[in-house]
Structures are given as structure tokens and as C-alpha cells.
Amino acid sequence: MALEPSLPSDATAHEAEIAVQTLRGAARATVRVEPDGSPEAAVVLPAQAFDLLMRMLAHLANGDAVTIVPIHAEVTTQQAADVLNVSRPYLIKLLDEGKLAYRKVGTHRRVMLRDLLEFKRHDDAERRAILAELTAEAQALGLGY
């Protein structure tokens, strides 16, 4: 599984923007595809797949790289550190302290993506709560925040 992003070209970003504008407001879509060497086929995208497609197109239109990774995938410690925006040594510390589950494959650690995303969600919520508390305290003290 590759998490290495590649940025879309200007042409791709432009095509994605046209697709977003065309499909904006739709709840689902019938997509026509023509696989190489096969006749055109029409498929109805499930609402969840359509939502993901729209979000992906919006990111591409903004020039952002997009990667789709199944929730049950395992990532390396470097990939996990990149998702959390921390150093690999700090991530290893989190693993060693039992704050984030992992398994060993030979001598290498692997982190389940669903565990990583749950840890990130919880950590982000905790940080927001602390920030709100500090902001309220600063306001109560009249520090101009």
C-alpha cells in the first residue's frame, strides 16, 4: 500500500473542477465508462461512493494529492508518524508506552490504520478541549484572547 502522494497536473485539476461543477448538488450519479476494448457501460454509484468521489474531485481541483486507503490496512511506523505529523521516534515512544496498538512483522512494527485514525481523532479532541479551556482561562484573566 502506497501512501506517497503525487500532485495532480494542472490539466487534471482543471478537469476535476469541471466535474465538481457539473455534479454539484447531485445526491448520486450514473457514470458512463468505456473500458479499453469494451463497449460503454453505465453504472449507478452508491451514495457513499458518490460522496467520496466528490470529495476526491474537490481535492484534485484544489491541486491536492489524494490517496485512498482501506480502513483495515496496516501502515509502517513512518507512514503512521506522517499521518500524525510527528517524528518517527516520537511515534515509537507512543507505541512503546502502549498508547497506540501495533503488531510486529519480523522486526518491523505495523499499525492498523483504523487504530491510528481513532488515536488521531481522540488526540485531536483532547487538544481542542485543552485549547478551549486555556482560551476561557485567558479570557477570564483579561489577557485579550
* Residue 93 belongs to domain spanning: 74-140
The predicted pLDDT at position 68 comes to: 83
In a domain, 106, yes or no: yes
Q: How far apart are CA 5 and CA 66, in angstroms?
A: 6
Q: What is the per-residue pLDDT across 8-32, written as a single tens digit (0 to 9) for each?
A: 999 999 999 999 998 888 877 777 7
Tally of domains in the chain:
2
Looking only at the bridges linking them, the beta strands covering 41-44 and 30-33 are antiparallel
Which residues is 75 bridged to in the sheet?
Answer: 111
In a domain, 145, yes or no: no
In a domain, 5, yes or no: no
Q: What is the per-residue pLDDT across 40-95, written as a single tens digit (0 to 9) for each?
A: 887 888 888 888 999 999 999 999 988 888 889 999 999 999 999 999 999 999 99
In a domain, 69, yes or no: no
